[in-house]
Structure 1
Amino acid sequence: MDKKKLIAAAAAGGLLLLCSLAVAYFTDHDTKNNVFTVGNVALELNEEHFIDGQLARADIRIDKDPTVKNTGKNDEFVFLEVKVPKGEITLLGSDGKPAAPKSSQELFSFFGGSGAQTVSGSDNFAYNSSTSSADGWVFLEKTAAADEDTYVFGYSTAISPDEETVSLFDKFALRKFIEEEIAGGTKLTVPVNAYGIQASSLDGVSGLPESGSLSVQNLKDIFEICRNKQN
């Protein structure tokens, strides 16, 4: 029996985008409070402030705040993976005029709280990052594909039983683009996947600190184990 106790939880937000003149509507059918357990390692993916069935307009920020709670009995390292849909669109500036030629672009922007950090090379994805005085999320990688971009973040420290992370981001919004470029009734999904692995006796990762924040390389090495276990 594999000594590594690994769990993976996934919540996908189903977004219905109905494009009509200056207004776009969407609905998110994210499944909340899912618990997946292997042995005594467990976690819960939450979005406390998200409300289904809201009216979405370009650049109007809507609450969406994914967090991870340790519901198991062991300390855990946890990760969040966000898949952002893309489309061939013409982004608009604040004056309503095209800001750049039509091209493949992410359809949503994400916003953190005060002091949020923006992912390098992605000016539309801000997240609640780790600082010298507070735990938070660490950006690990971005993978681009034709229809979506995938972002991976690791939490800066192990979380204890009943402990919950800060939110990865707090709000998101539809970007400003020419709505007719996305067919009315198009369904879009923004999956948010949570992964966790026991923090103690973790084979295959060297140089882990006994306490405190993990390095980017630590988190990348641990997430690689999570990824390999899912393949």
Structure 2
Amino acid sequence: MDKKKLIAASAAGVMLIAVSAAVAYFTDSDTKTNVFTVGNVDLELREENFTGGQLARADIRLSKDPKVKNTGKNDEFVFLEVKVPKGEVTLLENGVPAGPKAPRELFGFYAGSSGTAVSGSDNFSYRAAVENDGWVFLSRTESSDSASYVFGYSSKISPGDETVCLFDEFALRSFIEEEVPGGSELTVPVNAYGIQADSISGVSGLPDDGSGLTVQNLKDIFDICLNKQN
């Protein structure tokens, strides 16, 4: 058995868009306790202020605050991945088309006035690292039906400690109603990953105290984490 210990957890909010009524109903399938554990590494993906069954309208922000708690016995490096559904829609700004119909992300994510926008994105802001406490944006990839954002935490997490939340709120974006069929169900999976912080190899320039991790540090660690999981 490989000595590197890792774990993954996931949470999915299942969203039902009632397009014909210009509203959306949001429910939570609450799989945050779906934790897979090897050895003494364990984590919990938490969304303390998210409430299922809320009535949502375009551009009305609702609470959603994913963060990771170390519930194991070893220090961990942790990561969050958010998968955002896409659709062929015409985005609206003040009720007026803001561009041509095209594949667009259907939800926006917001981290308040202190949030940092993902480079090149107008719909995703996050709580970026300040003094080694916060999230570091690692990558954005997309397919025909979704976009995936990956973030790594800027320092290792000790047992019993938790990260700050990645963002605070999310909202359905404003688009022409008929472009998404009424009753469509959309999922926004939030996946958490963790790997044992001590004795990790294959990462150059890793700080001895596990803090102040660079983008490259975190990308290298995340690659190791995914390889160990597969």
Alpha-carbon displacement from aligned partner over 1:98-143 (angstroms, at most 9, x marks no partner): 1111110000000003311000011100000002x35000000000
2:124 maps to a residue whose letter is F
Partner residue of 2:128? 129
Counterpart of 1:149 in structure 2: which amino acid? Answer: A
Query: Which residue identity lines up with residue 58 of structure 2 in the other structure?
Result: A
- After TM superposition, the structure 1 stretch with the greater mean CA deviation from structure 2, 199-208 or 22-31, is 22-31
* Partner Cα separation in structure 2 for residue 98 and residue 55 of structure 1: 24
Alpha-carbon distance in 2 for matches of 1:116, 1:173: 15
1:173 matched to which residue of 2? Answer: 171
Question: What SS is found at the alignment partner of 1:27?
Answer: strand
Give the aligned partner of residue 88 of structure 1. 88
**1:126 partner letter:** S
The AA in structure 2 aligned to 1:159 is I
Is 1:162 the equivalent of 2:160? yes
What secondary structure, in the 3-state scheme, does the structure 2 residue paired with 1:67 have? strand
* Kept after mapping to 2: 8 A contact 1:13/1:190: yes
Unaligned 5+ runs, structure 1: none
How far off its partner does 1:171 sit?
0.3
8 Å contact from structure 2 (residues 110, 124) kept in 1 = yes
> How far apart, CA to CA, are the structure 1 residues paired with 2:184 and 2:127?
30
Percent of aligned pairs sharing the same letter:
70
- The aligned amino acid for 1:114 is S
Match of 1:142 in 2: 140
1:225 alignment partner in structure 2: 224
The alignment's TM-score, normalised by the length of structure 2, stands at: 0.96
1:104 has 2:103 as partner? yes
Distance 1:2 1:179 in 2: 51
Change (3 A) 1:154 1:42: same
Aligned CA RMSD, in angstroms, stands at 1.2
Given that 2:132 and 2:212 are in contact with CA atoms closer than 8 Å, whether structure 1 keeps it comes out as no
Aligned residues: 229
Which residue in 2 is equivalent to 1:18?
Answer: 18
Secondary structure at 1:46's aligned position in 2?
strand
Tell me, in whole angstroms, the C-alpha distance in 2 between the residues paired with 1:43 and 1:230.
Answer: 15
Q: d(CA) in 1 for partners of 2:32 and 2:227?
A: 26
**Deviation at 1:228?**
1.5
Q: Which amino acid aligns with 1:229?
A: K
Cα distance in 2 between the residues matched to 1:215 and 1:39: 27
- Distance, in Å, in 1 between the alignment partners of 2:191 and 2:104 is 22
**How far apart, CA to CA, are the structure 2 residues paired with 1:24 and 1:14?**
11
Q: Which residue of 1 aligns with 2:57?
A: 57
For the residues of structure 2 that align with 1:112 and 1:153, how far apart are their CA atoms? 14
The CA distance in 2 between the partners of 1:134 and 1:116, in whole Å, is 16
User: Runs of 5+ in structure 2 lacking a partner?
Assistant: none
Residue matched to 1:31: 31
* Aligned residues of 2:7 and 2:229 also touching (Cα < 8 A): no
Using the alignment, how far apart are the partners of 2:24 and 2:43 within structure 1? 34
> Offset of 1:65 from its aligned partner?
0.3
Normalising by the residue count of structure 1, what TM-score does the alignment of the two structures yield?
0.96
Aligned mates of 1:182, 1:76 — CA distance in 2: 41
- 2:206 maps to which of 205, 208, 211: 208
Shift of 1:82: 0.5
Deviations 1:174-211 (A, max 9, x none): 00001111001111000000000000000221211012
For the 8 Å contact 1:127–1:137, the answer to whether it is kept is yes
